[in-house]
Chains A and B, each alone.
Chain A
């Protein structure tokens, strides 16, 4: 058992962490909005935690607050993410479909260049030696686990509410939703901000977990990976991002005995998943309602 935990524990914690990112992509998708901005907020949240954790000027605060300094980092990431997401969301969500995706990628790229040139963010090297919250990496399950549970509870509540039904109506037919009185831009912005806020807090938790933080955390590649969790797992279910993250994070590890050919098999599994499971893994479990 201990051997198993030693080998796969880190993998498990990583799955939880990545599932949070997948869920932050799923939230705007509830309103049919394909946004890739989540990874930018993840990066930003991580920088907030990294700077707060290492900046000499904050040393007295860190000493006096102790462990409580970590929740303070999360709150600061949240407090930065929400207004920024609102400011980004209103112009961006007037765009639809692929144009929204492009605009949010542009945001991620701009943010990447900004942090590379910001002395506070450590430039290309980034910030390293970020103080750890726990002795063991495995213990970070106490960060990501509760946040994931809270996020799933939140999504569950949204799905069963009038607010959620309006989001789904926008996803189904935006024009009809408008004609039925739904204030579509504001609802889309709300779903977008929820996703960005979740990504920001997940980033703030991840900086100590990963020990170093640099511009590579918020790249286009990373956002495509997050999108893949949702698509492979199932874009129409809150369990989709979780299942997708579990599969995509563990696949390279599980296939490790195959040595060099494992990446070929990894790619093959993804292609087959797209072809044979268009509704994702979660789609296999959900039977169609109605007759």
Chain B
């Protein structure tokens, strides 16, 4: 197994509360890896530590063989780890197209001098960013709304735009934080198909948090289960589903 992400003894304490305690797991290249667990289990905190938005209390994260613990989140993003947010965080006042262009500019290191002087290199960067952004907006089916403000999109559209914006970083690893939350059953099926499609098309590894059990079981090669900050199970969906510790965490002791 060629691990793209190696998490070792990762912990985060908020005061006396261990939000994540000594979690270790690996994600193999090309796999779709699910992270599940009851509310407050520490899933989003774990995501925030992986992407650098919050600093771990202890432990380490290695991405593509490089130690990334404590690096600037912007740097981690440019290295090829992109994410979406549980509570969608688009640039609401910017157009759909501009939302996707921002990470492209960040990758191309578009600078102040290019903006002021506007030489051939800067124009070339702008043109390529525009082309790529149009492709990605088209991919998520929003080309008809490319000029609209991101905040004006319906809910499902905002979810799709956030994925398109993450894809603009040309990620190797895509982290999706509850991408199916608030979608209707038909949209959930469509999203599953879309995740498989982009995984194959862009050669992605996908790590995602999800509550929807059929979706997780159907999509993931492997699943990790968090409960009160502890990693209680990792493995194939069927094995995890049958694990007594997992059943207990979700349903309580009497059922185990």
Contacts and interface: CB of A to CB of B under 8 A. Distances in A.
Interface of A: 154, 157-158, 161-166, 168-169, 171-173, 175-184, 190, 194, 236, 288-291
A166 B102 contact: yes
A162 B94 contact: no
Given A165-B105, A181-B169, A184-B74, A158 B116 contact: yes
Given A168-B94, A181-B78, A161 B89 contact: no
Nearest to B98: A165
A179 B101 contact: no
Contacts of B118: 157, 161
Contact of B91 (A176, A181, A184, A194): A176
A165 B77 contact: no
Residue among B72, B102, B104 with max Cβ neighbours from chain A (10 Å): B102
A179 B73 contact: yes
What is the interface of chain A mostly: helix, strand, loop, or mixed?
helix
Given A166-B102, A179-B77, 10 more contacts: A162-B101, A168-B94, A172-B91, A176-B85, A176-B91, A180-B103, A181-B77, A183-B72, A289-B95, A290-B148
Contacts of B83: 179
Nearest to A177: B102
Which 9 pairs from chain A and chain B are nearest by CB?
A: A162-B110, A162-B105, A161-B115, A181-B106, A290-B148, A172-B91, A290-B149, A181-B77, A163-B115
Interface string B95-125: 1001001111111101110111010001001
A173 B89 contact: yes
A181 B75 CA distance: 6
Nearest to A183: B74
A178 B103 contact: no
Contacts of B147: 289-290
